[in-house]
């Protein structure tokens, strides 16, 4: 069967015989009423109050890999559901539909912070405010453990907009729990205050990438999220595409020159999506030390593991 | 297995041992090619010509609970599908894909009213124009029956924008068929003309909530849909968020004071989403007589029942 | 069981006994935790860089008919995923989630043309640029074969905006491979240059529908896509709804008068969505020679066949 495992990008690669084979198969396809319902699967309800594609797809793929069904609701700012409703109303409504697990992403919301732990349905946090993104922290650690066997005594550098990053928070927590040392670097106004760093996480603050990169066994760049920044980064409302981006890269980003400061057996991570030419030079992702795509694969793996453990499979 | 049935809102609630457990499970997750296709399930095709989240999710959940698959198409005003196509074209196209059931929501459309009964595929109406929302009428009656055992001789008050409400129409029909007495109240210009009321449905028209509420065994508030109203509600184009909303609530809505007029064993319903501070004071949903979330749960139940009956499961 | 196979468009068609039957079924519906996960199915990941409803739904339906799961991502221009990312980044990210098949639609993109053949996951092209739409070419040929048994020696006319049509390209290729003769007609500036036609495809160029229609065993109209045209069609920025559309129809479209030039046993195709009153008079779709809805049904069949062959089912 010559089509097995092949791509079909154009009909020009098909012979008349191929086409015949396809047509015969089409003749045998059953549409409509002959289908018999499978046994119902547990349902994962994904409720995203903030836009997401990567994390949402990753949870959905993870659920499918366990044979679960997925009900997804992305509530953009103007969504009809939220008209006149509070986020709590929305969550309680979806919970009343009795899904088996709720996956929720939301911005800063004390209302939801208080509501979610009270629900009778297990809830997986797919990113909340600037404080927690547990599945990201777990998949980052899992990716490093796959390389190293253990994180114990390893040095992990997180650089960029640490202040607003839930990825960084969950990273600090998981990495240090697993015995790693964590360092941070970033523009001064995008770092948490020094005392909160050392008190909460025992984190080392670097003042230059030149100093930080040789120290690290792994470095993780964070996405710069302009919408969360004050005016210092883009004083004249310039877009990131222009000189502000280049300026940021040269001062705070992983340039081609700085790549040379990173040890040859060190690893490069990024939670994605990457701003090419801002936190990373375009060349970084194709560096042999990059594990950015492994993170994506491991994201599915970790989320499937969590769903399996929570549902008792 | 300590994660069974638990939420994960932050990594801080996880011990290093928990994390290990998650990682081991992640190691065992099968991604990609090892999956074996389940037996194909019947496919429910949801075609929404009007935006909806609640009803759409409810049908999808109902289908999943039966082990069915769901193909959903929300056709916003500017959808590419409808470019140059009539709604009938769109429906006939989807029907030609041979789903097992079609779920359709649409606004006022004589074209679709005429087409749908002629299709060879069973069609479930998920709300059409101002005249019919059969699954809502059924789930409302089902919710009351769950409390009362029977609707016979019970008094049900529907209040708010009765004129434009398909929920009210289907409610009138189902409630009276099951032997209940129905009353209505609302702004004069948002009630159907008196004669049509009494002729078609034998409905009692109340002129104040003060009179209507003590009469009722159950009262159902309707969502005020500004977009369907004439200028009387918001004479200066004010938004519902302001004084118009407060004014509406004090004249026509269920205020905290009026809640006291409702008997202690009476029930409160609302098809959702609720405009807090318009038809209901914010306190209403947490009143012990409210069955608003039961309606949501029962919506899944009723829709699953209909799909099961229509598909012969 | 009187509801079996029936539509529910209004509660008014239900008796009180029907309602009882529905309620009893609703009582028996299992929500929540009792569900047991089915065996995981292979996952089809649909990645649409250009909007599509018809093709996307068709692939999804095809996948469901095989018992596969579908992960769909429509990347509109402003999608969060593509911020700062290249289309290649996006594709590589989704590939890293390890779907079993990737279905991709995209506009003109040399970057993706180069990347897709290098992926380890089978890729199905759901329409790319102006050059290839292989499943459409296959379903069109399959529809004709269902009528004729074979395409050998048959004459197929493709008319309209041939220059920008990937449907036409894949049609030329498949039709001629199966032994058919292909002719084209359209506004002069919307035809590929004569030499490219005859060299690549051996296509006959007609200069009027009056000449072309009697020649044809089947004629396929193409959708006029204003967004791809130069100013000649709508010199003053007029919309297609106005006199420009009527003018196009009378000069280049299938009018009621021209329908008479088509033989009584000839067939009419269109890849959809049809611009009624532009390439086709509104009467065309209800002509008994039209196979437009068969094309839609066969689209599901062909895509299911390809998925089955590629996955080895």
Q: Would you list the DSSP string of A180-199?
A: -EEEEE--GGGS--HHHHHH
pLDDT at position B13: 74
Closest CA to C144 of C105, C120, C177: C177
Chain B contact present for A166, CB below 8 A:
no
Which three-class secondary structure state does DSSP give residue B267?
A: strand
Cβ proximity of B135 and C10 under 8 Å: no
B155: β partners: B181
Where are the domain boundaries for CATH 3.40.50.1370 in chain B? 43-129, 136-295
Mean of pLDDT values over C61-67: 90
Which of the four pLDDT bands, split at 50, 70 and 90, describes residue B230? very low
Alpha helix segments (H runs only) across chain C:
16-28, 54-65, 87-96, 110-115, 134-148, 166-177, 194-201, 209-215, 243-252, 256-259, 292-311
- For residue A39, list chain C residues with Cβ-Cβ distance below 8 A: 35-36, 38
Topology of domain C43-129, CATH: Rossmann fold (3.40.50)
Ranking A19-28, B88-97, B266-275 by mean pLDDT, the lowest is A19-28
d(CA C262, CA C283): 14
Query: B38 and C38: CB-CB below 8 Å?
Result: yes
Degrees, nearest 5: CA angle C53-C59-C62: 135
What is the tens place of the pLDDT at every residue in B92-111? 999 999 999 999 999 989 99
Mean of pLDDT values over C278-307: 93
Chain C contact present for A78, CB below 8 A:
no
d(CA A18, CA C309): 11
Which three-class secondary structure state does DSSP give residue B87?
A: helix
Is the pLDDT at B271 greater than 70, yes or no? yes
Residue contacts between B and C (CB atoms, under 8 Å): 198
Is the pLDDT at C238 greater than 50, yes or no? no
Chain C contact present for B216, CB below 8 A:
no
pLDDT at position C30: 61
Tokens 């184009």 -> residue = B237
- Is cis: bond before B272, omega within 30 of 0? no
Chain B contact present for C299, CB below 8 A:
yes
Task: Please give the order of strands across the beta sheet that includes B123-128.
Answer: B69-74, B43-48, B101-106, B123-128
Which of the four pLDDT bands, split at 50, 70 and 90, describes residue A104? very high
Alpha helix segments (H runs only) across chain B:
16-28, 54-65, 87-96, 110-115, 134-148, 166-177, 194-201, 209-215, 243-252, 256-259, 292-311
In C27-87, where do the E strands start and end? 43-48, 69-74
pLDDT at position A29: 64
d(CA C26, CA C14): 16
pLDDT at position C77: 54
pLDDT at position C231: 45
Query: C9 and B38: CB-CB below 8 Å?
Result: no
d(CA B310, CA B123): 9
| Residue bearing the bigger pLDDT, C8 or C212 | C212
Is the pLDDT at C192 greater than 90, yes or no? no
Q: Does domain B136-295 have CATH number 3.40.50.300?
A: no
Mean of pLDDT values over A150-158: 95
The CA-atom distances, in angstroms, between C287 and each of A287, B152, C142, C280, C292 are: 60, 53, 20, 11, 10
At A20, which helix (H) or strand (E)?
helix A16-28
What is the tens place of the pLDDT at every residue in C241-288? 567 788 899 999 999 999 999 999 999 999 999 988 899 999 998 999
pLDDT at position B229: 52
Neighbours of chain A (3+ CB pairs under 8 A): B, C
pLDDT at position C69: 92
Chain A contact present for C71, CB below 8 A:
yes
Where are the domain boundaries for CATH 3.40.50.1370 in chain A? 43-129, 136-292
Chain B contact present for A57, CB below 8 A:
no
pLDDT at position C221: 97
CA B299 to chain centre: 7
Query: B97 and C57: CB-CB below 8 Å?
Result: yes
pLDDT at position C229: 52
Tokens 């550098």 -> residue = A157
Closest residue, chain C, to A35 (C-alpha): C65
Q: Which of 3.40.50.10140, 3.40.50.1370, 3.40.50.150, 3.40.1180.10 is the CATH number of C134-294?
A: 3.40.50.1370
pLDDT at position B79: 55
Cβ proximity of B172 and B181 under 8 Å: no
Is the pLDDT at C230 greater than 60, yes or no? no
Where are the domain boundaries for CATH 3.40.50.1370 in chain C? 43-129, 134-294
What is the tens place of the pLDDT at every residue in B36-63? 455 688 899 999 998 888 999 999 999 9
Query: A65 and B23: CB-CB below 8 Å?
Result: no
Q: Does domain A136-292 have CATH number 1.20.1630.10?
A: no
- Is cis: bond before B273, omega within 30 of 0? yes
Cβ proximity of C190 and C160 under 8 Å: yes
How many Cβ atoms are within 10 Å of B153's Cβ, its own excluded? 10
pLDDT at position A110: 92
pLDDT at position B227: 53
pLDDT at position B35: 46
Mean of pLDDT values over A107-115: 92
- Is cis: bond before A273, omega within 30 of 0? yes
Mean of pLDDT values over B21-50: 73
How many Cβ atoms are within 10 Å of A178's Cβ, its own excluded? 19
From the candidates A38, A46, A64, A130, which should be mutated to test the interface with B, based on the most B CB atoms within 10 A? A38
Chain B contact present for C36, CB below 8 A:
no
Cβ proximity of A55 and A126 under 8 Å: yes
pLDDT at position C233: 53
Q: Please, how many CA atoms are within 13 Å of residue A242, restricted to the half-sphere of its CB?
A: 7
Ranking A56-70, A188-202, A245-259, C46-60 by mean pLDDT, the lowest is A188-202
Q: Considering only CA atoms, give the Rg of chain A.
A: 23
Query: C23 and B65: CB-CB below 8 Å?
Result: no
Closest CA to C187 of C169, C166, C205, C171: C205
d(CA A68, CA A41): 5
Is the pLDDT at C167 greater than 50, yes or no? yes
d(CA B37, CA B59): 24
- For residue A92, list chain B residues with Cβ-Cβ distance below 8 A: 293
d(CA C68, CA A64): 10
Provide the percentage of residues in chain B whose pLDDT is more than 70: 85
- Is cis: bond before C273, omega within 30 of 0? yes
Which of the four pLDDT bands, split at 50, 70 and 90, describes residue B71? very high
Is the pLDDT at C37 greater than 60, yes or no? no
Mean of pLDDT values over C216-232: 75
Mean of pLDDT values over B162-180: 91
How many Cβ atoms are within 10 Å of C202's Cβ, its own excluded? 11
Degrees, nearest 5: CA angle B200-B201-B205: 115
Cβ proximity of C166 and C133 under 8 Å: yes
Pairing mode, strands A181-185 and C155-159: unpaired
Is the pLDDT at C38 greater than 60, yes or no? no
Degrees, nearest 5: CA angle B288-B294-B298: 160
Q: What is the mean pLDDT of chain A?
A: 85
Mean of pLDDT values over C227-235: 49
Start-to-end CA span in chain C (Å): 36
pLDDT at position A77: 54
What is the tens place of the pLDDT at every residue in C6-35? 777 777 777 777 777 777 777 776 655 444
Is the pLDDT at A237 greater than 70, yes or no? no
Closest residue, chain C, to B96 (C-alpha): C297
From the candidates C34, C64, C69, C84, which should be mutated to test the interface with A, based on the most A CB atoms within 10 A? C84
Chain B contact present for A293, CB below 8 A:
no
Mean of pLDDT values over C29-57: 77
Mean of pLDDT values over A217-228: 82
Q: Which of C27, C100, C275 sits opposite B32 (nearest CB)?
A: C100
Q: Which of B36, B137, B138 sits opposite C39 (nearest CB)?
A: B36
Query: C66 and B37: CB-CB below 8 Å?
Result: yes
What is the tens place of the pLDDT at every residue in A156-204? 999 999 988 999 999 998 999 889 999 999 998 888 876 677 777 788 9
Q: What's the whole-model pTM score?
A: 0.90
d(CA A68, CA B38): 12
What is the tens place of the pLDDT at every residue in C168-183? 999 998 999 889 999 9
């Amino acid at each position: 069967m010559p089509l097995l495992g092949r791509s079909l990008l154009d009909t020009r690669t098909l012979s008349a015989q191929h086409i015949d084979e396809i047509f015969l198969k089409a003749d045998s396809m059953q549409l409509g009423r002959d289908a018999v319902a499978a046994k119902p699967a547990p349902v994962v309800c994904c409720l995203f109050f903030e836009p997401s594609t990567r994390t949402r797809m990753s949870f959905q793929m993870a659920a499918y890999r366990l044979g679960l069904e997925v009900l997804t609701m992305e509530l953009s700012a103007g969504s009809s559901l939220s008209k006149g409703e509070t986020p709590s109303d929305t969550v309680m409504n979806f919970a009343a539909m009795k899904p088996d697990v709720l996956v929720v992403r939301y911005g800063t919301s004390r209302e939801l912070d208080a509501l979610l732990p009270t629900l009778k349905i297990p809830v997986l946090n797919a990113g909340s405010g600037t404080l927690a993104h547990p599945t990201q922290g777990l998949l980052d650690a899992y990716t490093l453990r796959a390389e190293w066997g253990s994180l114990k005594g390893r040095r992990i550098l997180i650089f960029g907009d640490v202040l607003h990053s839930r990825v960084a928070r969950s990273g600090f927590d998981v990495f240090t729990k697993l015995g790693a040392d964590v360092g941070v670097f970033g523009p001064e106004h995008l770092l948490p205050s020094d005392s909160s760093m050392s008190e909460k996480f025992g984190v080392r603050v670097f003042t230059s990438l030149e100093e930080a990169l040789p120290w690290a066994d792994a470095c993780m760049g964070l996405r710069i999220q302009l919408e969360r920044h004050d005016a210092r980064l883009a004083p004249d409302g310039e877009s990131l595409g222009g000189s502000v981006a280049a300026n940021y890269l040269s001062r705070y980003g992983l340039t081609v020159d700085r790549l040379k400061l990173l040890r040859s057996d060190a690893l490069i991570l990024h939670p994605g999506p990457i701003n090419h030419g801002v936190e990373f030079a375009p060349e970084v992702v194709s560096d042999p030390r990059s594990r950015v795509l492994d993170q994506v694969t491991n994201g599915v793996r970790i989320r499937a593991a969590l769903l399996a453990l929570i549902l008792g499979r």
